[in-house]
Amino acid sequence: MENKTGKYFKYAIGEVLLVVIGILIALQVNNWNENRKDRDDIAIFKTNLSTEFIQNRSVLKQRIKLIETSLEHANSLMAFMGKSKDTINQHNLDSILVHTLYYGNFNPSNSSIIEILQSGKLKLIKNDTLKNQLNDWLEILQDTNEDFKNQDLTANQHLAPYLHDNVSARNYDLEGIYGVTTTKSILIEDYFHAILNDFRFENLMVNHMVWHAIMLKHYQELDGLAVAILKTLQKHD
């Protein structure tokens, strides 16, 4: 009886050990699978993120060029403030004016960043530099959105109404911009001499240029940050 009890006890211990070993192996395999899945997710995320930032930079360069060109035309126009009628009439200021009005919002593709934030997988990124850069990107992008809102608000509430009352829209280069053919207006003449000697127009343009400069600064910061993010993505975590 004692021998049988001892055998049963040893058998039971053996069964328990086998079960424990089986559980440990299963846990190890599960952990390995989870780690592999996490690595695969991060690899896919980094690939998608690189593609997005390459595309974002392409759009961002266009926005930067647009605002730089707009500022150049605005500075050219401001150089005529207070000039004589003869000097003003020697130049096609309608074309210069319409180019000063260009500005555009930057709406990048952030689907990869949003996905990893919403999925709670941001913790899988071990590279603190990349984490900080992505946070900086979102913060600066929020600033640029506020810039655009302020620029759009001041332009539509102040500059546009002033131009509507004092400048002929028919004289703009609408064909070159929108493909719309118009003839020159005969209802108003020499309006540029009037507005270029009006301090209200000067103040409106200065305010317009200030917001252009602020937007340009943030767009340039975003572009520099996008370059840094792409370089970081090329490195290993």
What is the value of pTM for the model shown? 0.77
Give the contacts of 221 (CB within 8 A, at least 6 positions apart): 140
**Residue 154 burial (10 A CB sphere; 0-12, 13-18, 19+):** middle
- Tell me the mean pLDDT per 10 residues along the chain, length 237: 59 72 71 69 84 93 94 94 88 85 84 80 80 91 91 91 84 54 58 90 94 94 95 78
What's the distance, CA 201 to chain centroid? 31
- Whether 212 contacts 102, CB under 8 Å: no
